[in-house]
Every structure is written in C-alpha cells, then in structure tokens.
Amino acid sequence: QFHMIKYEDLQWVSVLGQGSFTRIFSGYKTDIRDGEKHVTDVFLKELDVVHKNYWESFFEAASLMSQISHKHLLLVYGVNIMVQEFVEYGALDLYLQRGRSVSVSWKLDVAKQLASALNFLEEKNIVHGNICAKNLLLAREGDPSQGSSPFIKLSDPGISVAMLAKDVILDRIPWVAPEVLESPDNLTLECDKWSFGATLWEIFNSGEPPLRGWDLDQKRQLYERFLQLPPSQWTELADLIGQCMDYQAAFRPSCRSIIRQLNSLITSDYEILHAAEPVTQ
C-alpha cells in the first residue's frame, strides 16, 4: 500500500550519526500534490552495510510502519531507505536525560499516549517487539514544567529480535520480555506489555537507563532469579509496572486495563505526597 518515493525527490541534508543498525540522516522530500509543490522534512534511516544480512527484517519493519496509521505511531513514507517524518525533539530517553524538569502529569500523558498506541496495535493483533523510551519520539514538547501536553510517536521496531544474536538480546534486558530469551521467534502481544512496563519505569526515572552499567551476565541473572527493577515510590505506579513486568505472560494486563489504571492515577496525590522531598528530576 506504500507509495514509491522517487530517489530524485529526496534531498540528503546532513549526517546525524548512527542507530543500533542504521546510519541516520536528515533531509527533505519534495512532491507534487494537486498541482502544488510540497516540501516535508524527513528522517532517513539506511541499514548500515555491516548489517546488510538484516535487510529483510529492516524492510519488514519499514513496511509494517508504512501500512498502519495512528496519531501516536510514527509515519513512515518509504521503505527501501526508511523515509520517516522528522520528529523535532528526537528520542524521549535522550530528551529526559538532558535534565529538563518535567512534571509528573507530563510523564503520565506520555504513558497514556503510548498505551493508546499499544491498544491500537493490540486491536489489530500487531506485535511491535521493541518498545522502549529510545523508540518514543517527541513531536511536541508542550510545557514540561507546567504540565501542558507533550505529543509522542512510537517509532518502528527496527530489526526483529528473532534475527539478533543472543548477546544483543541479553543486552535488551530489562525491555525484552523474559520468555523471548527462550524463544525469540515467538513474539506475542504480552511481550510488548512487559516492554511497556520497563518503558514506564524509564519515563518516571528521568530517562535513566535501567540497569546502567550491568554486564550481560548480571542482566541474565536478574531474569533467572525472577527479580524486578527497583520499585517507584509511587505505589500505584509501581504496582502497574509490576503487573506489566509479570514473569508469567498470561497475567499481564490488557491494554484496556492499563489505560484504566493510568487514568486513575491522580498526579496531584503524588505531588503532594512528595512535595517535601528535594526535586531530583
């Protein structure tokens, strides 16, 4: 269903660097619609030549994203080189790590938007497979300190875990669901719930990478011992994260239940409870 973008309609502007498997660029595309010329900023992802064996999986991720449309899912225009809408504020983990003070209700908004994207995917029975704050892109900042709404878009999953080497999968602990380590080619909707839990943890810990500095062996042991990430002080939130990161996949909540629970979290309670504490975000 995706339309072809002619190579000559794409302009490369600058090299932005590298993703896990990609080389990334900014640019723009030009097209003629209704006799008028339109220029759109785009984000270009090209599979790095050293990873060319992943070509099929890269193509799959691109075509998946270009065939579905939802306000909280990133728009992908083209697939051979992944041509995406350019998202102004970039990845959410980096944004939070830059230390901008962000209110609890702002974070809660981000969580609800991600839950709505997941709900959409769940209804279509589509597994994403790589949900994490790095793959959430911030399209609108809102006013983070006043709590005026941000707007996020979930990016493409990239190379499927089924293709990845064991070490790369281990490194995705705690985002990757424990059962995926045993059977990477059997991703389910429940796996995304686990990843959602880990992503909630990131969002509410200022984008801090969970398990920073842990080596692969330590990461593996966390799962072997059925351990959890350090719980949030906000008990209701800690409880929701715990439900999502349940080692028994069948017990993880549905998206509807996640949304209901997020809606019942009252941020003012949290802010009053913690008003006496120094602001660490």
Note the residues at the interface with ligand ATP (CB under 6 A).
Answer: 19-22, 24, 43, 45, 74, 84-87, 90-91, 94, 130, 134-135, 137, 155, 158-159
Is the bond preceding residue 174 a cis peptide, omega within 30 degrees? yes
Q: Are 195 and 135 contacting, i.e. CB atoms less than 8 angstroms apart?
A: no
Partner from ligand ATP, Mg ion, none contacting 95, C-beta within 5 to 8 A by type: none
Partner from ligand ATP, Mg ion, none contacting 21, C-beta within 5 to 8 A by type: ligand ATP
The residue of the chain with the least Cβ separation from ligand ATP equals 19
Q: What would the two tokens of residue 246 be? A: 């349940």
Q: How far is the CB of 19 from Mg ion (least distance, A)?
A: 6
Count interface residues toward Mg ion (CB under 5 A): 2
According to CB under 5 A, which one of 103, 135, 160, 195 is a site residue for Mg ion? Answer: 135
Partner from ligand ATP, Mg ion, none contacting 137, C-beta within 5 to 8 A by type: ligand ATP
In this structure, the number of other CB atoms found within 10 A of the CB of residue 151 comes to 17
| Residue 66 interacting with Mg ion (CB under 5 A) | no
**CB-wise, 133 or 262, nearer to ligand ATP?**
133
Partner from ligand ATP, Mg ion, none contacting 163, C-beta within 5 to 8 A by type: none
**CB-wise, 159 or 262, nearer to ligand ATP?**
159
Residue 88 DSSP SS3: coil
**CB-wise, 135 or 199, nearer to Mg ion?**
135
Residues 6+ apart with CB under 8 A from 53: none
Partner from Mg ion, ligand ATP, none contacting 189, C-beta within 5 to 8 A by type: none
* Beta strand spans in the chain (E): 10-18, 22-33, 36-47, 76-78, 82-85, 136-140, 151-154
**CB-wise, 81 or 115, nearer to ligand ATP?**
81
Q: What is the DSSP string of 129-188?
A: ---SGGGEEEEE--BTTTTB--EEEE----S-GGGS-HHHHHHTTTTS-HHHHH-TT---
In this structure, the number of other CB atoms found within 10 A of the CB of residue 110 comes to 26
